[in-house]
Structure 1
Amino acid sequence: MTVPVIWNNVDLYFQNNLQQEDPVMKSVLKANEEAGLPAIDVSPNQGKMLYLLAKLKKANNILEIGTLGGYSSIWLARALPNDGQIMSLEYSEKHASVARQNIRNAGLKDKVTILVGPALETLPTIEEKGYHHFDFIFIDADKQNNANYVQWGLKLCKPGAVIIVDNVVRNGQVLKEDEHDPNIQGVRDCIELFSSEPRIDATAIQTVGSKGYDGFLLGIVE
């Protein structure tokens, strides 16, 4: 989808007025581009939103599913207290290697652990590694497994945890009940899980901006 000029310009307006110049985050995006990673990171405004939500939650133990080059990982790590930790799961070793360097350059290597492999294979192993009782979960990975990731999140989180799922509007395609695209069906399966799961109180927020027309699914575990 072509992003309307006004969406992009409004994003830049908010970014320029509500965020200070951030050479670290610019360098992350540059490193990701130079490494050939897909440009699917959250936008700067969305990253700042994740940071603020984690601060509001006073998150101490974050699970991230989908590291890519570490852009959202760094935003979330910045919100943590001194003893806070992130466990980030990434399918690709190439992506994880870029993310590790970006996180080191941001001075946050002691706060972020990246585990490489298919998330549905690594999720069953993280509790034995000492990672559990998560109070904030951000899911931004392969969309067809969104519901599976949420179910694992419910097993590994504690009451009151925040769960955020990215890319749930998909330019409005989420409305198509008969859609055969596994990404769209994965989003619909996830929304149905949120709807039927009595432990989650949830809503969705539609967004427009430099990343196009999309949105976030936001829930709190009771």
Structure 2
Amino acid sequence: MTNPQWHEVDAYVTDLLVPADEALTAALADSAAAGLPEIAVAPNQGKFLNLLAQVQGARRILEIGTLGGYSTIWLARALPADGHLTSLEYDPRHAEVARANLARAGLADRVEVRTGAALDTLPLLEKEAAGPFDLVFVDADKANNPHYVAWALRLSRPGTLIVVDNVVRAGRVAAPDPSDPTITGTRAMFEFVANEPRLDATALQTVGTKGHDGLLIARVTS
């Protein structure tokens, strides 16, 4: 479901507060040219992620789901010069496009894109003591959201911020649908967060160029 006014408001906000950026525009264009699905966050959402990372003072960021690297660029730009972002991408073709986009944005020195199923690469990060991460952004296959959040918690510290995208699903998250793994996975993630005493969380509905959706924000308390 979309609404023309949602687009108008997003365009108004973006024109005023998120000026055009050559590297980000090129990242979207090259992703589309490579046939990647056009499901990257909107520009104002990317700026929101960037501001969250800055407010968090993030030095280590974990992203689960790279796609073409658009959100990765936004997050990595919030890092200090010695900061590092690890992004996990299942599809090698997507990862190749993302690496090129990140290199053009001048961020190749602080971002690593790892390929493979995230549930295979996350245990490797733990073995390598890659964490704790200051911020984790989850934007991958929704069926595995509860597993991704559980791993984000394992790789966190008190004060880590965990952000999960696309949690409202055009409002469908409010009604059980056992035939849709994106709904069952998202609802299981909400239940995991609600029952995890180490997480303090809320979720916000959003409307805009990406339709009716939302995100969950959780802070690790202990």
What TM-score results when the alignment is normalised by the length of structure 1?
Answer: 0.98
Counterpart-to-counterpart distance in 1, 2:168 and 2:160: 23
Q: C-alpha root-mean-square deviation of aligned residues, in Å? A: 0.9
Given that residues 60 and 85 in structure 1 are in contact (C-alpha distance below 8 angstroms), is that contact kept between their aligned partners in structure 2? yes
Task: Give the secondary-structure state (helix, strand or coil) at the position aligned to 1:168.
Answer: coil
- Please tell me the residue identity of whatever aligns with 1:78: R
* Structure 1 residue ranges (4+ consecutive) displaced by more than 6 angstroms after TM superposition: none
Identity between Structure 1 and Structure 2 (%)? 52
Answer yes or no: is 1:22 the counterpart of 2:21. yes
**Structure 2 gap segments, 5+ residues each:** none
Following superposition, the deviation at residue 9 of structure 1 comes to: 1.0
Following superposition, the deviation at residue 179 of structure 1 comes to: 3.8
1:37-65 Cα distance to aligned partner (Å, 9 max, x none): 00010000000000000000000000100
Residue number in structure 1 paired with 2:92: 93
1:55-79 Cα distance to aligned partner (Å, 9 max, x none): 0000000010000000000000000
Given that residues 67 and 88 in structure 1 are in contact (C-alpha distance below 8 angstroms), is that contact kept between their aligned partners in structure 2? yes
Following superposition, the deviation at residue 128 of structure 1 comes to: 3.4
Counterpart-to-counterpart distance in 2, 1:130 and 1:88: 16
Following superposition, the deviation at residue 17 of structure 1 comes to: 0.5
- Please tell me the residue identity of whatever aligns with 2:150: Q
Task: Give the secondary-structure state (helix, strand or coil) at the position aligned to 2:145.
Answer: helix
Given that residues 54 and 136 in structure 1 are in contact (C-alpha distance below 8 angstroms), is that contact kept between their aligned partners in structure 2? yes
Q: How does 1:29-68 map to 2 (within 5 A)?
A: 29-68=28-67
- Please tell me the residue identity of whatever aligns with 1:72: S
Residue number in structure 2 paired with 1:205: 204
Counterpart-to-counterpart distance in 1, 2:196 and 2:173: 20
Following superposition, the deviation at residue 19 of structure 1 comes to: 1.6
Counterpart-to-counterpart distance in 1, 2:127 and 2:82: 20
Is 18-27 or 127-136 further displaced after alignment?
127-136
Given that residues 87 and 131 in structure 1 are in contact (C-alpha distance below 8 angstroms), is that contact kept between their aligned partners in structure 2? no
Given that residues 177 and 183 in structure 2 are in contact (C-alpha distance below 8 angstroms), is that contact kept between their aligned partners in structure 1? no
Length, aligned pairs only? 221
Following superposition, the deviation at residue 4 of structure 1 comes to: 1.1
- Please tell me the residue identity of whatever aligns with 1:76: L
- Please tell me the residue identity of whatever aligns with 2:100: Q
- Please tell me the residue identity of whatever aligns with 2:195: S
Counterpart-to-counterpart distance in 1, 2:61 and 2:156: 9
Answer yes or no: is 1:11 the counterpart of 2:10. yes
Residue number in structure 2 paired with 1:70: 69
What TM-score results when the alignment is normalised by the length of structure 2?
Answer: 0.98
Q: How does 1:1-222 map to 2 (within 5 A)?
A: 1=1, 3-222=2-221
Following superposition, the deviation at residue 130 of structure 1 comes to: 4.5
- Please tell me the residue identity of whatever aligns with 2:93: K
Given that residues 176 and 183 in structure 2 are in contact (C-alpha distance below 8 angstroms), is that contact kept between their aligned partners in structure 1? no
**Structure 1 gap segments, 5+ residues each:** none
Is 121-130 or 38-47 further displaced after alignment?
121-130
Task: Give the secondary-structure state (helix, strand or coil) at the position aligned to 2:211.
Answer: coil
- Please tell me the residue identity of whatever aligns with 1:203: T
Counterpart-to-counterpart distance in 1, 2:101 and 2:197: 39
